Structure 1
Amino acid sequence: MSIRSKGRRKIIVDSQTYLWYVALDDESPYNILNIVSDDKSYILACPLQTEKEYIISKGRMFQAKKTNGRWNRYFLPFHIPEIITPKFVEQLILWSTKNTDAIPINGDVPV
């Protein structure tokens, strides 16, 4: 099944194609930066303007490792800008695919 691309931006990072978009979350008051690889192995959600900056991994891979298939939350080691740019999206993708320093969140965080 393909990914709907209408209204979404495409970015290529390390020869891998991703679609990204910002949308209001259905279950919270937050806007979410959503990033999906074309093969759906990386599915990332980054809540914007939260007190604690973190990312949610929903895909089969995160930081070059297979995941348990659940939604896993990790603290971000960098600041989320107020305006989301392709440069920031690329930074987030590179950190989510290449690094191995993610700190899991245990406990409650919004979204």
Structure 2
Amino acid sequence: MSVNKKGRRKIVCNARLFYWYVQPDYDDCGQIKLNIVSDDKKWIVSYEVGQSKNPKTPHIVIKGREFEGLDRSGWQGWMRVQTPIWKDTIITPELVKTIIEWCFHKKERLIVVDWKGEII
């Protein structure tokens, strides 16, 4: 089953097609989220917009089965990992590309956090 393309922007990164959109998440008090999904729906992430203004280190929510450097065996549900601090007050295609490239870049260590952003 393919991705719903209505209202989504398209971006090609690392020779792979992704769709992205920004919308409020009413299950999370209406926080504005950037959602990025691969065309085959194996790679899905969500990033809360405006985290660069928070005192805590920002994090990304991994919803899909695929993520570089992450072993999903034995883990059910979503995972959250710390990210670099990006200029995220305005969501641009360049920021989306930066997030995708970071997610697919080999990392020495991923820091897993809980829903509050606290290190587990």
- What is the TM-score normalised by the length of structure 1? 0.87
Rounded to whole Å, the distance in 2 between the matches of 1:12 and 1:83 is 20
Rounded to whole Å, the distance in 1 between the matches of 2:71 and 2:19 is 21
Higher strand share: 1
Contact 1:59-1:69 at 8 Å conserved across structures: no
Give every structure 1 segment of 4 or more consecutive aligned residues whose post-TM-superposition deviation is greater than 3 Å.
Answer: none
Contact 1:60-1:66 at 8 Å conserved across structures: no
Which runs of 5 or more structure 1 residues have no equivalent in the other structure? none
Which runs of 5 or more structure 2 residues have no equivalent in the other structure? none
1:56 to 57, 61, 69: 61
- What is the TM-score normalised by the length of structure 2? 0.81
Contact 2:2-2:41 at 8 Å conserved across structures: no
Quick one: structure 1 residues 34 and 88, their matched pair in 2 at CA, closer, same or farther if it must change by over 3 Å?
same
2:112 to 94, 99, 104: 104
Cα shift readout 1:10-32 (whole Å, capped 9, x = no counterpart): 00001100000001002122100
Quick one: structure 1 residues 5 and 66, their matched pair in 2 at CA, closer, same or farther if it must change by over 3 Å?
farther
Q: For residue 7 of structure 1, what is the aligned residue in structure 2? A: 7
How many residues are paired up?
109
